[in-house]
Structure 1
Amino acid sequence: FSFNTEALIAKYFGNYKFALWAAVLFCIVSLISNLIYNMMDRRGERILNLPKAEAEDKIVLSDIKRFKPSFWYVTFLCVTFYSAIFPFTALSTDFFHDKWGLPLKVASSSGFFGQVFSNFAHMFSTAGGTTSIIIFASMVFAPFAGNLVDRVGRRATLMIIGSLVMIPSYLLMGFTHIQPAFPMIILGAAFVLVPAAMWPSVPLIVDPKRVGTAFGLMTMIQNIGLALFPYMNGKLRDVTHGYGASMVMFASLGIVGLVFAILLKIADRKEGGVLEYPGEKKIEPEAA
Structure 2
Amino acid sequence: MVNFAQAKHKQANMADLEERQSLLGENDGDREPGKPMPAICDPNHLLHRVVVLVFMCFLGFGSYFCYDNPAALQTQVIQDLGLTTASFMQLYAWYSWPNVVLCFFGGFLLDRVFGVRLGTIIFSLFVCVGQVIFATGAWTNQFWLMEAGRFIFGIGGESLAVAQNTYAVNWFKGKELNLVFGLQLSMARLGSTVNMNIMGWVYSKVADDFGSPGHTVLGASLMIAAVTCVFSLICALILGFLDKRAERILHKEQEGTGEVIKITDVKDFSAALWLIFIICVGYYVAVFPFIGLGQVFFIEKFSFSPAEARAVNSIVYIISAPASPVLGFIVDKTGRNVFWVLIAVAATLAAHMMLAFTFWNPWIAMSLLGVSYSLLACALWPMVAFVVPEHQLGTAYGFMQSIQNLGLAVISIAAGAILDSKGYLVLEVFFCACVSALIAVVLLYFVDYLKGKRRLEP
TM-score, normalised by the number of residues in structure 2: 0.52
Q: Is the 8 A contact 1:82 1:222 kept in 2?
A: yes
- Return the alpha-carbon distance in structure 2 between the equivalents of residues 39 and 138 of structure 1: 32
Q: Which runs of 5+ in 1 are unaligned?
A: 106-125, 278-288
In the alignment, is residue 198 of structure 1 matched against residue 377 of structure 2? Answer: no
- Return the alpha-carbon distance in structure 1 between the equivalents of residues 395 and 356 of structure 2: 38
Deviation at 1:209, TM superposition (A): 0.3
Give, as a single letter, the amino acid of the residue that structure 2 aligns with 1:265: Y
Residue in structure 2 matched with residue 263 of structure 1 by the alignment: 443
Moved more, 30-39 or 219-228: 30-39
Give, as a single letter, the amino acid of the residue that structure 2 aligns with 1:245: V
- Return the alpha-carbon distance in structure 1 between the equivalents of residues 425 and 284 of structure 2: 19
Residue 247 (structure 1) aligned to one of 428, 436, 439: 428
- Return the alpha-carbon distance in structure 2 between the equivalents of residues 64 and 45 of structure 1: 36
Q: Is the 8 A contact 1:7 1:19 kept in 2?
A: no
Q: Is the 8 A contact 1:9 1:18 kept in 2?
A: no
| CA shift digits 1:199-221 (9 cap, x unpaired) | 12222221100111111111000
- Return the alpha-carbon distance in structure 2 between the equivalents of residues 48 and 206 of structure 1: 34
Residue 187 (structure 1) aligned to one of 362, 369, 379: 369
The structure-2 alpha-carbon separation of the partners of 1:169 and 1:18, relative to structure 1 and needing over 3 Å to count, comes to same
The structure-2 alpha-carbon separation of the partners of 1:33 and 1:215, relative to structure 1 and needing over 3 Å to count, comes to farther
Residue 153 (structure 1) aligned to one of 315, 335, 338: 335
In the alignment, is residue 217 of structure 1 matched against residue 399 of structure 2? Answer: yes
Moved more, 200-209 or 214-223: 200-209
In the alignment, is residue 234 of structure 1 matched against residue 234 of structure 2? Answer: no
Give, as a single letter, the amino acid of the residue that structure 1 aligns with 2:435: G
What is the identity percentage for the equivalent residue pairs of Structure 1 and Structure 2? 30
What RMSD over aligned residues (CA atoms) do the two structures have, in Å?
A: 2.1
- Return the alpha-carbon distance in structure 2 between the equivalents of residues 48 and 266 of structure 1: 50
Residue in structure 2 matched with residue 103 of structure 1 by the alignment: 305
Q: May I ask how many residue pairs the two structures share in their alignment?
A: 254
Q: Is the 8 A contact 1:89 1:131 kept in 2?
A: yes
- Return the alpha-carbon distance in structure 2 between the equivalents of residues 77 and 187 of structure 1: 16
In the alignment, is residue 6 of structure 1 matched against residue 199 of structure 2? Answer: yes
Residue in structure 2 matched with residue 72 of structure 1 by the alignment: 274
Give, as a single letter, the amino acid of the residue that structure 2 aligns with 1:5: I
Moved more, 215-224 or 26-35: 26-35
In the alignment, is residue 92 of structure 1 matched against residue 273 of structure 2? Answer: no
Residue 164 (structure 1) aligned to one of 340, 346, 370: 346
- Return the alpha-carbon distance in structure 1 between the equivalents of residues 380 and 353 of structure 2: 24
Q: Is the 8 A contact 1:169 1:183 kept in 2?
A: yes
SS of aligned partner of 1:129: helix
Deviation at 1:35, TM superposition (A): 5.1
| CA shift digits 1:171-194 (9 cap, x unpaired) | 221222111100001111111110
SS of aligned partner of 1:177: coil
- Return the alpha-carbon distance in structure 2 between the equivalents of residues 38 and 159 of structure 1: 37
- Return the alpha-carbon distance in structure 1 between the equivalents of residues 425 and 438 of structure 2: 21
The structure-2 alpha-carbon separation of the partners of 1:63 and 1:173, relative to structure 1 and needing over 3 Å to count, comes to same
SS of aligned partner of 1:276: coil
The structure-2 alpha-carbon separation of the partners of 1:40 and 1:217, relative to structure 1 and needing over 3 Å to count, comes to farther
The structure-2 alpha-carbon separation of the partners of 1:41 and 1:128, relative to structure 1 and needing over 3 Å to count, comes to same
TM-score, normalised by the number of residues in structure 1: 0.82
| CA shift digits 1:24-80 (9 cap, x unpaired) | 2223333443454456556656737468559x5211000111111121111111111
| CA shift digits 1:2-43 (9 cap, x unpaired) | 111111110112122233123322233334434544565566
- Return the alpha-carbon distance in structure 2 between the equivalents of residues 166 and 51 of structure 1: 41
The structure-2 alpha-carbon separation of the partners of 1:10 and 1:213, relative to structure 1 and needing over 3 Å to count, comes to same
Give, as a single letter, the amino acid of the residue that structure 2 aligns with 1:28: V
The structure-2 alpha-carbon separation of the partners of 1:23 and 1:198, relative to structure 1 and needing over 3 Å to count, comes to farther
Give, as a single letter, the amino acid of the residue that structure 1 aligns with 2:355: M
Residue 178 (structure 1) aligned to one of 338, 347, 360: 360
The structure-2 alpha-carbon separation of the partners of 1:42 and 1:104, relative to structure 1 and needing over 3 Å to count, comes to same
Residue in structure 2 matched with residue 273 of structure 1 by the alignment: 454
SS of aligned partner of 1:58: coil
Segments of 4+ moved more than 4 angstroms = 34-46, 50-54
Give, as a single letter, the amino acid of the residue that structure 1 aligns with 2:298: F
User: Is the radius of gyration larger for structure 1 or structure 2?
Assistant: 2
- Return the alpha-carbon distance in structure 1 between the equivalents of residues 309 and 321 of structure 2: 19
- Return the alpha-carbon distance in structure 1 between the equivalents of residues 430 and 283 of structure 2: 12
Deviation at 1:98, TM superposition (A): 1.3
- Return the alpha-carbon distance in structure 2 between the equivalents of residues 75 and 41 of structure 1: 35
Give, as a single letter, the amino acid of the residue that structure 2 aligns with 1:226: L
Larger RCO (CA under 8 A, 6+ residues apart)? 1
- Return the alpha-carbon distance in structure 2 between the equivalents of residues 87 and 165 of structure 1: 18
Give, as a single letter, the amino acid of the residue that structure 1 aligns with 2:347: V
Q: Is the 8 A contact 1:4 1:128 kept in 2?
A: yes
